[in-house]
Amino acid sequence: MAGITIRRFEEDDKETVKEIFTMGMSEHVPSSFMHLLKQPLTQMILMVTFCSLLASSKSVLLPVVGVTLLLAGAKQLVGYLFNSYIDTSLRKDLDHIQETYLENKDSCFWVAESDGRVVATVACLPAEREPGCMELKRLSVRRTHRRMGIAKALSRTVADFSRERGFPAVVLYTSVVQTDAQRLYENVGYTRVREFVIPEPIAKITNFTLIEFKLDLLQGGNRRTGLTAGGEIGGLD
pLDDT at 203: 79
pLDDT at 57: 86
Sheet holding 4-8, edge to edge: 4-8, 108-114, 117-126, 134-141, 169-175, 209-216, 191-197
pLDDT at 111: 98
From residue 201, alpha-carbon distances to 63, 75, 198, 213 in Å are: 28, 17, 8, 24
pLDDT at 231: 33
pLDDT at 3: 80
pLDDT at 9: 97
DSSP state, 102? S
DSSP state, 150? H
For the four alpha carbons of 77, 82, 85 and 87, in that order, the dihedral sign comes to negative
Q: Give dist(CA 135, CA 123) in Å, integer.
A: 8
pLDDT at 220: 56
The residue type found at 221 is G
The residue type found at 133 is C
Contact 160, 110 (CB under 8 A): no
DSSP string, 33-58: HHHHHTSHHHHHHHHHHHHHHHHHHS
Closest of 108, 110, 114, 115 to residue 134, by C-alpha: 108
Contact 134, 127 (CB under 8 A): yes
pLDDT at 232: 32
Q: Give dist(CA 223, CA 237) in Å, integer.
A: 12
- pTM tops 0.75: yes
213: CB partners within 8 A, 6+ apart: 171, 172, 173, 174, 182, 185, 186, 190, 191, 192, 193
Question: For the chain (length 237 residues), average pLDDT per consecutive 10?
Answer: 86 96 94 92 94 89 94 93 90 94 96 95 95 96 94 96 96 94 94 89 83 89 39 32
Closest of 172, 158, 171, 163 to residue 219, by C-alpha: 163
Q: At what angle do helices 61-89 and 40-57 cross, to 10 degrees?
A: 150
pLDDT at 59: 86
The residue type found at 192 is R
pLDDT at 1: 56
Q: Give dist(CA 159, CA 122) in Å, integer.
A: 11
